[in-house]
Amino acid sequence: MTKHSQMSVRVRAGPGAALGAATIMSLPLGSIYAFSVLVAPLEQLLHANRSELASVFGISAVFFTIGANLAPRLFGWIRAPLLVALTGALSSAGVALAALAPSLSWLILGYGVLFATGGGMVYVVVQQCVNAARLARPGLVNGYLVSLFPLGAMLAAPAFGLGLDWVGVRHTLAGLAAVTAATTLAATLLVAHDGVVLAKTGRAEISHAAGSQASLQATFWKLFTIFFLAASAGLMVLSQAAGMVAAFGAGKSASLLATTGITAAIAAARLSGGWLIDRLPVPYVAASAQAIALFGAIALTAMPTPEMAILTLGLIGVGYGLISGVTVGAVASYWPKMEFGRIASRTYIAWCLAAISLPVLAGRLYDLTGGYETAVIVAGAANLLAVVVALTLPRQERAR
């Protein structure tokens, strides 16, 4: 066996400090979901309109995905601690530039391009650092990792609110840059302590009991499709929860509480989705997750009341959260661990496409109809199709 081959199959006894590094690094990155809190003060500061600032989130979603797909290309070329340091520094520098931005263009460059690209890269890097170890429960561990993003948004939203009240939007963004820099330093030290080695990846080395290369390719596209359909419905709810609940007749306070509750439910569902596939076949968990979301869409269509809106939009969000956990857990189960980052990063393209599909369509349908009823029906159709595709997935092997 060659020296390169020995490095390619090397795994550590456990995730150890790498799991801590992934935890502290992912939380500030999750603040990207709380960008809406910054929109109003940025409108006044940069003299931009709402649609222009709304585009910043869409741009950040695109560049986060680009960064996530760039990172695996550097595995084996740059040592893991240095890769964490460089990508985290890029993300921190992007927020710092956004804090100083004199115009919308500079905000897009700093936040939408640099912060998001660096964030996408380091997000995949720390995930691969964890998955390079032997994981007794890969579903649970990866479900935990993806649950950190909405948890980070839950922490960032009130922190942003306090920062805006106390020091203003520029200093709030500067604070996020400082936190990102501090967590980057800590994560770099933890990864170095854990002795993580990220081997080069390549299709030629893939050989797994899930089937031949053609079978794995088919499995990937099924996972991609399910994730896209679930995320389209889920991100519609996540991005417009307050407005949707209000459109069905709920008051302002109820809308805000529902938004927080839905975000928390998505975080819990991501963790649960990963935990479930350690115990049950992937196709059953994935299909059941989308059946829950489908039931929510049907119930809200039949009974469009404020109370039903809060409950059923939560169910649609839960369906999305479960699929998020299932997807990364399934990647860890179907593919060799050295391939995790490359395959997982490609599934995030589905998330990017979802962010610019049904959420945008829902806004357009609201402008045309004055409500979200049609958007909910479209979401239900996506959930139904996801159920059908999910049932065709292969069963996974137990963790290796």
In a domain, 385, yes or no: yes
Query: How confident is the model over 175-196, as a mean pLDDT?
Result: 94
pLDDT of residue 277: 92
Domain presence at residue 200:
no
Q: At residue 159, what is the residue type? A: A
Final residue of a domain: which of 133, 166, 194? 194
Q: What is the mean pLDDT of residues 258-270?
A: 84
- Mean pLDDT of the chain, nearest integer: 87
Q: What is the pLDDT of residues 128-143, one digit of tens each?
A: 999 988 888 888 999 9
The predicted pLDDT at position 256 comes to 66
Same domain? For 122 and 233 the reply is no
Say if 118 falls within a structural domain. yes
Q: Are residues 308 and 171 in the same domain?
A: no
Mean pLDDT (whole number) for 81-97: 97
Q: Is residue 160 part of a domain?
A: yes
Same domain, yes or no: 298 and 182: no
CATH number of the domain that residue 369 is part of: 1.20.1250.20
213 pLDDT more than 70: yes
Residue 399 located in a structural domain: no
Q: How many domains does the chain have?
A: 2
Q: Higher model confidence: residue 191 or residue 202?
A: 191
Asked if 9 and 155 sit in the same domain, the reply is yes
Is pLDDT of 267 > 90?
Answer: no
Name the pLDDT band for 5 (thresholds 50, 70, 90). Answer: very low
Are residues 315 and 362 located together in one domain of the fold?
Answer: yes
Q: Are residues 152 and 252 in the same domain?
A: no
Has residue 199 been placed in a domain?
Answer: no
Question: Is residue 98 predicted with pLDDT exceeding 90?
Answer: yes
User: In this structure, are 361 and 281 located in the same domain?
Assistant: yes
Binned at pLDDT 50, 70 and 90, residue 211 comes out as very low
Q: Which of 71-80, 166-175, 203-212 has the lowest mean pLDDT?
A: 203-212
% of the chain at pLDDT higher than 90: 57
Q: Among 128, 163, 194, which residue terminates a domain? A: 194
188 and 332 within one domain: no
Average pLDDT, integer, range 357-378: 88
pLDDT band at residue 366 under the 50/70/90 scheme: confident
Residue range(s) defining the domain that contains residue 169: 3-194
Give the range among 187-201, 249-263, 380-394 with minimum mean pLDDT. 249-263
- Asked if residue 188 and residue 238 are part of one domain, the reply reads no
Among candidate residues 194, 226, 258, the one where a domain is terminated: 194
Q: What is the pLDDT of residues 59-69, one digit of tens each?
A: 998 999 999 99
The Cα 129–Cα 78 span in angstroms is 13
Q: Do 69 and 111 share a structural domain?
A: yes
Are residues 295 and 153 part of one domain?
no
Residue 363 lies in a domain: yes
202 within domain boundaries: no
**Whether pLDDT at 253 is above 70:** yes
Residue 282 shares a structural domain with residue 375: yes
